[in-house]
Each structure stands twice: as structure tokens, then as C-alpha cells.
């Protein structure tokens, strides 16, 4: 199975209308912007897209609309993760039926099962679809860490294609790359501020929050890393990294949606339990965005 994408995949926000419904015109405008500015793949309805607050009907409708509008221009990855294995299977099968290129599947949150339970959860999804799957390891959200040995077991399954690694533990990520180097398996950074070191270890790119507001810059930085142009990679990474940190001044996607609103981009409101960014945090973020240059007018 070939690599799904190399470089930068944006973890897209979901734009909402003022009444809380999905803004499909905004969704299409954001897709066009990413395609035009070089984003290498699009992830729809995952964490940054507030997938946990979408109804089943909304989730499926968004995936269907995205598949039709992307229309093969770039790889389309569907967020189909859930702590309910049967539901994740059903949503992944639906993503396959409407033409997604891959699906992102998270380890079970709240249930907080064992390593064997994590393996069986993801294996069950894999056994019931032919879509390539990206495993999503984000202990800060799920309350449990997928250990390298478990990732290595999953990598042996034919359609487990990659992992989005957001553990923040570079030693763990290095071990995953070592354990899976003989498999047809890729590692992506799940944290924007670790893109350079993870690609330097052998990763293929980043699944990025920051790319929502600066798609071209994140793509160029990620490709400099992948192509081993390390002087360029370091320069671009150092320039972007303060923005990466600003995107997590509060819980994602609160800051990125605030930034997009300030920049006049299609984003809309947040859904509870997420609330608008505090004034203090937003003021700090604005300073960072202005310091980068070209993102906000003075």
C-alpha cells in the first residue's frame, strides 16, 4: 500500500453558521483555499473539526459533501473515530462508500481500555473495511497511550497504513519508527511543534492545526523537512513555531477558530462545550500572528 500523502495534511475546522448548523459554503471555500495553497491532504470531521459534537446525520453529510467537492484533487481522509467500536466501524464503512481515500481512527477515549482492547478496537475497524486507516494516538484527549509494541502489531495488518502520533514523546516515536521500518507503514506528526524532529526521525509529514491559517507556509516547511533541505527546514520551522504554540494557548480548536475569524476566513462559531477564546489569550495570540507577518494587519 502506497504512502497516503507526504508533507502537510490539514486537520480542518468545521465552519458553522450562527444558528449552529454546518456552513457548507464555508466548507467549500476552505477546501478550495487549501488546494490552491498546496496543502497535501485534507482531514475532515476529526478533533479540530469538532467531530465529537456532530450528530451522526451531520457527520455523514459532511463527509459526503467533502468527498464530492474535493473530487480527487487531493487525498481526503475522513475522521471516523469513536470510543464505540461498532459506531466507528459503521462510520468508516460509510466513508469508504462515498469515496474517502482513508480514515483516521482514534483509540477509545473514556472507556480507557487495555493495550489489547486498543488493538482489538482498531483491528475490528480494519477488518470491516478496505480503506487505508491512520491510527490516531493522542493521550491528552483519550486518557490512554498506544504503546509502540501495540502500534507495531497494528502495522502488520494489511490496511493499517500509518499513525498520527500526538503523544509528544519523541523517544516513543523513534521506537515506533524503528519497530515498523520493515512494514509498509508511515508515521505523521500529530503535534505541529514536533514536525521537524519527527520527520527527521523518518516521519512522512504532519497532520496540522496551524495549516488552517497558513497552509502554504506549513506545506513548504514540511516539504523542506521531507526533502532533507535542513537549513531551509530549520529556518521555516523556527519562524512558524511561535504560531504553533499560539494555536494551543487554549483548547484546540478555540485559538485557530479565533485566528481565522480575525483573518476574515470562513470558520463560524464553536459548539459547546467549547467557548470563545478569552480576551487575554486572544491578545497574546494576536501579538504572535502580527510578529509572524502577513497574517494580520497592524
Quote the CA–CA distance of 62 and 24 in Å, as a whole number: 8
The residue annotated as part of the active site, out of 164, 188, 204, 257, is 164
* Residues 159, 154: Cα–Cα separation, whole Å: 9
Report strand pairing: 76-79 vs 102-106: parallel
Q: Residues 6 or more apart from 219 whose CB is under 8 A from it?
A: 7, 8, 37, 38, 39, 40, 211
Residue 271, classified by CB atoms within 10 Å of its CB into exposed (0-12), middle (13-18) or buried (19+), is: middle
CB within 8 Å of 105: residues ≥ 6 apart: 80, 81, 88, 92, 122, 125, 133, 134, 135, 136
Q: What torsion, rounded to 10 degrees, do the Cα atoms 28, 33, 38, 42 define?
A: -30
**CA distance readout (Å), 26 to 17, 66, 85:** 9, 12, 31
Which residue among the candidates 87, 109, 123, 136 is catalytic per the annotation?
136
CB burial of 202-222 (b: ≥16 within 10 Å; e: otherwise) equals ebbbbbbbbbbbbbebbbbbb
CA angle 89, 117, 187 (to 5 degrees): 75
Residue from 228, 254, 225 nearest 241 by CA: 225
CA nearest 195: which of 104, 214, 75, 131? 214
Tell me if residue 261 is catalytic: no
Does 164 participate in catalysis according to the annotation?
yes
Residue 181 CB neighbour total at 10 angstroms: 10
Q: Which residues are catalytic?
A: 136, 164
Amino acid at each position: 500500500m502506497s504512502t497516503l500523502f507526504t508533507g502537510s495534511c490539514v486537520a480542518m475546522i468545521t465552519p458553522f453558521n450562527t444558528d449552529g448548523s454546518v456552513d457548507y459554503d464555508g466548507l467549500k471555500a476552505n477546501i478550495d483555499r487549501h488546494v490552491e495553497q498546496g496543502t497535501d491532504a485534507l482531514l475532515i470531521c476529526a478533533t479540530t473539526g469538532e467531530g465529537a459534537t456532530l450528530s451522526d446525520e451531520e457527520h455523514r453529510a459532511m463527509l459526503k459533501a467533502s468527498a464530492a467537492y474535493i473530487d480527487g484533487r487531493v487525498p481526503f481522509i475522513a475522521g471516523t473515530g469513536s470510543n464505540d467500536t461498532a459506531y466507528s466501524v459503521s462510520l468508516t464503512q460509510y466513508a469508504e462508500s462515498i469515496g474517502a481515500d482513508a480514515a483516521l481512527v482514534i483509540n477509545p477515549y473514556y472507556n480507557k481500555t487495555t493495550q489489547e482492547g486498543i488493538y482489538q478496537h482498531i483491528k475490528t475497524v480494519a477488518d470491516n473495511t478496505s480503506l487505508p486507516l491512520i491510527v490516531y494516538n493522542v493521550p491528552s484527549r483519550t486518557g490512554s497511550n498506544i504503546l509502540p509494541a501495540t502500534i507495531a502489531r497494528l502495522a502488520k495488518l494489511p490496511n493499517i497504513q500509518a499513525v498520527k502520533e500526538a503523544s509528544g514523546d519523541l523517544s516513543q516515536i523513534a521506537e515506533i519508527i524503528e519497530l515498523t521500518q520493515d512494514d509498509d507503514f508511515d508515521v505523521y506528526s500529530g503535534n505541529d511543534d514536533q514536525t521537524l524532529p519527527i520527520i527527521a526521525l523518518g516521519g512522512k509529514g504532519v497532520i496540522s492545526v496551524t495549516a488552517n491559517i497558513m497552509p502554504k507556509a506549513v506545506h513548504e516547511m514540511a516539504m523542506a523537512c521531507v526533502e532533507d533541505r535542513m537549513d531551509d527546514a530549520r529556518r521555516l520551522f523556527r519562524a512558524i513555531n511561535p504560531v504553533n504554540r499560539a494555536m494551543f494557548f487554549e483548547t484546540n480548536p478555540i485559538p485557530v477558530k479565533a485566528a481565522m475569524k480575525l483573518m476574515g476566513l470562513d470558520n463560524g462559531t464553536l459548539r459547546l462545550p467549547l467557548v470563545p477564546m478569552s480576551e487575554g489569550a486572544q491578545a497574546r495570540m494576536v501579538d504572535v500572528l502580527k510578529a509572524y507577518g502577513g497574517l494580520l494587519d497592524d
